[in-house]
Copies of this chain bind each other. A is one copy, B any other.
Amino acid sequence: MASKFFSTAPRAVQTRLCRTPNSVSIASRLPQRRYISAYGYEQAKALTFSEYGEPPSVLSLHSHSISPPHSNFMTLRFLASPINPADINQIQGVYPSKPTFTTNLGTANPIAVAGNEGVAEIIALGEGVKKEGFKKGDWVFMKGPGFGTWRTHASATTDDVVKLDDQMREGISAIQAGTVSINPCTAYRMLRDFTTLQEGEWFIQNGANSGVGRAAIQLGKKWGYKSINVIRSRDDKVKEEAMKKELKELGADVVITDAELQSQGIKDMAKEWTNGGRAPIRLALNCVNGKAATAMAKLLSSSSHFVTYGAMSKQPLTIPASMFIFKDIHFHGFWVSRWAEKHPGEKQMTVADVLDMTRKGEFRDMPVDEIRWEWESKGDELIAKVKDTLEGYREGKGVFVFGKT
């Protein structure tokens, strides 16, 4: 498995799939399609599950066919679909957004397709879809969670998808388009929607080398905010230093380990960074929870905001009363799916803004661990890759990248 870090690589290397200077010719440069039925029936494969459980136990690769699209139906061929932690939680049955269980894929008992984020091309469409301005070769991503994106092909309606218009798509790779909806949007809205940071003011975040963390570093930098970034301590100090250096190159002002965060002298250090507290730390972004998150909250200035969007430690957040009453810290949560559902217009604008920055070279992808999914790929191989994500920290974000399907 090729494992590559793209965040510090030059832009030409970052964008590998389907990248063209002119979007009109993109379709012709896509990897060739495996097979087109003479009658318009499409063969499809999908990672599905019929009951909740640990992904290696409950997932299987299911083959089915899709009938030719008519009226407001279209047939999609997926290009890139990431493996997000929420996808795993959804399969485990512990995610509040449930997938659609259906017998439409030709099974006696209902099954659901895993995955929630991804980008696909339209390979066939009914008349109704054409009337709404869609055409063959257009790229779309999912409007909300629960559609199922770990699949080669799908039948969808215009209600299921958002079109990436030609202008937005220019200079954007499938991996970039397929991973923009969740992590960069999460970072973007958390930096903007809970408080109005002024230029020169600070935010602090943990999980700083995650997709959201890297996006926050870059967006914060662009908007003039300063950042304290917490990463896990590593036994391999050379790797730890390399990670610090990498995040600083992305735009991080300060990078510390969780051990450093929880050490004695941290308050004095924070004072030094923030010019004696004159440039306040007014926002915290938390995807870890547990003691390390409480330690982060302690560095906030009075009347600041603390936003939780994950709990990698699987611990709750414990907050002393004084932090509420006397320090007036406000604690919130952020869930990009709910936000997108409530604010579809803002989501479009946020995605467009991030893709625009990407196009200009101002926003680097997070490191991606590509999982090639060819037509011949075996279910066991694909599921083993999901298991890798489940069990530890990959070297980069796992993304199914579809080859000749």
Find chain B residues with CB under 8 A from A96 CB.
322, 326
The verdict on A321 contacting chain B, using a C-beta distance below 8 Å, is yes
Chain B CB within 10 Å — which of A311, A320, A331 has the most?
A331
Inter-subunit contact A329/B321 (CB<8 Å): no
Residues of B within 8 A of A326 (CB): 96, 333, 335, 338
Contacting B at CB under 8 A, from A317-350, are 317-335, 338
A311 near B321: Cβ-Cβ < 8 Å: yes
Find the B residue at minimum CB distance from A294: B316
Minimum CB–CB distance from A336 to chain B (whole Å) comes to 10
Measured between beta carbons, the chain B residues less than 8 angstroms from A75 are none
Knowing A319-B317, A321-B310, the reply to whether A333 touches B328 (Cβ < 8 A) is yes
Q: Assess whether B338 is in contact with A334, with CB atoms less than 8 Å apart.
A: no
A227 in the interface (beta carbon within 8 A): no
Which of A96, A309, A316, A334 has the most chain B CB within a 10 Å cutoff?
A316
A367 to B326, alpha carbons, bound, how many Å?
Answer: 27
Query: Once bound together, how far apart are the Cα atoms of A176 and B331, in whole Å?
Result: 35
Q: Which among B289, B316, B323 is the interface contact of A333 at CB below 8 angstroms? A: B323
Interface string of A289-326 (1 = CB under 8 A from B): 10000000000000000001111000011111111111
| In the bound complex, CA of A321 to CA of B331 (Å) | 11
Given the interface contacts A308-B325, A324-B331, A331-B330, does A316 sit within 8 Å of B318 by beta carbon?
A: yes
Contacts of A309 in B (CB 8 A): 325
Select from chain B the residue with minimum beta-carbon distance to A287. B321
Which residues of B have CB within 8 Å of A330?
330-332
Q: Which partner residue on chain B sits nearest A312 by CB separation?
A: B321
Q: What number of A residues sit within 8 Å (CB to CB) of B?
A: 27
Contact of A320 among B316, B328, B329, B335 (CB under 8 A): B316
CA gap between A228 and B322 in the complex, in Å? 25
A19 to B72, CA, bound (A): 78
- Measured between C-beta atoms, what is the minimum distance from A95 to chain B in Å? 8
Residues of B within 8 A of A331 (CB): 319, 324, 330-332
**Docked CA distance A327–B333 (Å):** 8
For the complex, give the distance between the alpha carbons of A318 and B319 in Å: 6
**A377, B256: Cα distance in complex, Å:** 59
Query: In the complex the two chains form, is B319's CB within 8 Å of A319's CB?
Result: yes
A363 CA / B308 CA spacing, docked (Å): 40
Q: Which of chain B's residues have a CB closer than 8 A to the CB of A308?
A: 321, 324-325
- Distance A96 CA – B289 CA, assembled complex (angstroms): 27
Out of B289, B311, B329, B338, which one reaches A328, CB within 8 Å?
B338
CA distance A310 to B320 in the complex (A): 10
- Nearest to A325 among chain B residues (CB) is B333
A318 contact from B318, B328, B334, Cβ within 8 A: B318
Knowing A96-B326, A326-B96 are in contact, say whether A289-B321 is a contact too (CB < 8 A): yes
A165 and B125 alpha carbons, distance in the complex (Å): 77
Give A327 to B331 CA distance when docked, in angstroms.
13
- Over the window 152-184 of chain A, the binary record of Cβ atoms lying under 8 Å from chain B Cβ atoms (1 yes, 0 no) is 000000000000000000000000000000000
- A326–B337 Cα gap in the complex (Å)? 10
Nearest neighbor of A330 in chain B, beta-carbon distance: B332
Known interface pairs A311-B320, A317-B321, A317-B324; 6 further A-B residue pairs with C-beta atoms within 8 A, sorted by A's residue number: A309-B325, A311-B321, A311-B325, A316-B321, A318-B319, A326-B333
The 3 nearest A-B residue pairs measured at CB? A324-B333, A311-B321, A331-B331
* 20 pairs of residues in contact across A and B, judged by CB atoms under 8 Å: A309-B325, A310-B321, A311-B321, A316-B319, A316-B320, A317-B318, A317-B319, A317-B320, A317-B321, A318-B319, A319-B331, A324-B331, A326-B333, A326-B335, A326-B338, A327-B333, A328-B338, A330-B331, A331-B331, A331-B332
